[in-house]
Amino acid sequence: MSVYGWDRFYRKRAERMHNLQEGKKQLIKEICENDKEAISKGKRSLEDLSDSELENLVVDDKHGIIYCYIPKVACTNWKRVMYVLKHGEPYQDPSSIYDQYVHGFGNLRLLSSYPRIERKANLKHYTKFLFVRDPFVRLISAFRDKFEDSKNDYYYNPLSQHIQLLYDHTPYPPRITFYNFIQYLLDPQTEQNLPFDPHWRQMHRLCHPCLIQYDFIGHQETLQEDAEQLLNTLKLQNDIKFPPSYVNITTPEYLSGWFRKVPLVERMKLYKLYETDFKLFGYRKPDELLDG
């Protein structure tokens, strides 16, 4: 292909990606306009959000960026990028940053740490982005990571025992089942005691897209392509290389296997619990799981 041909190819690609982003933002705007109060639980503006509701927004003042991280949606790698940007040039390779540095308290600055007047100014002027994922696939990923991976036993084993005692009536099982986990999520008592763990809290409750107008919405399903586009938008494409992602075997094609032992009634209730995420972020309703 000639130089002219490549130039045309990249311009067409950039135009397509731009139009895709505009479509994502328009979809969120339309859904929020139709049901903003219900989605935001009566909160009408940023001033109504508490400090704890802004704990997922990471700020980089040097580059004017705000990232709302969602657990189980490439958040470790994006936190690595934010960590590298915070420390300035010469930029480290994000892949070289240990997990504990980016997940440790105080290593990244959160929007909630700013005075309220600065929060509003930052949200108005900074470039804001988030990455989302199919809600059911994210749930499976959270279950596998927190209840099937032994490295999380210290934190999640007490919860696992609690869930098993409630729904399977055995006090010390080796592991809870995915169905037990769904029962826990659907139990009205769960959130009466504590808010959902961020790893399975609804994405819109973490990032408040009806109250915060994001400039870029990326998807886990197109992570590398979206990361490249975002870094281009931020004019960091020559400075930062997004860490390569492993091939994630938790994909929508695996849904039917995971939900095989979950009764239809519970599947439908679970969809209702995460329906807003499906709609806001353009994910199709998984009819094959809900039609019996």
Q: Is the pLDDT of residue 1 over 80?
A: no
* Cis before 115 (ω within 30): no
> How far is Cα 139 from Cα 283, in angstroms, rounded to an integer?
14
CA angle 66, 35, 281 (to 5 degrees): 50
- Class of residue 215 by CB neighbours under 10 A (exposed 0-12, middle 13-18, buried 19+): middle
Q: What is the pLDDT of residue 250?
A: 56
Q: What is the pLDDT of residue 10?
A: 62
> How far is Cα 71 from Cα 138, in angstroms, rounded to an integer?
9
User: With b meaning 16 or more CB within 10 Å and e meaning fewer, what string describes 160-183?
Assistant: beebbeebeeeeeeeebbbbbbbb
Q: Is the pLDDT of residue 93 over 70?
A: yes
Q: Is the pLDDT of residue 240 over 80?
A: yes
Q: What is the pLDDT of residue 204?
A: 97
Number of Cβ within 10 Å of residue 271's Cβ equals: 17
pTM score: 0.92
Q: Is the pLDDT of residue 220 over 70?
A: yes
pLDDT tens readout for residues 4-47: 665 675 677 778 888 999 999 999 999 999 887 778 777 778 88
Percentage above 90 pLDDT, the chain: 65
Q: What is the pLDDT of residue 7?
A: 65
- Tokens representing 72 are 């189980």
E-strand stretches of the chain: 57-60, 65-68, 109-110, 127-132, 216-219
> How far is Cα 18 from Cα 216, in angstroms, rounded to an integer?
10
The highest-confidence range among 46-55, 145-154, 201-210, by mean pLDDT, is 201-210
Q: Is the pLDDT of residue 292 over 70?
A: no
Closest CA to 159 of 142, 181, 192, 141: 181
> How far is Cα 103 from Cα 81, in angstroms, rounded to an integer?
12
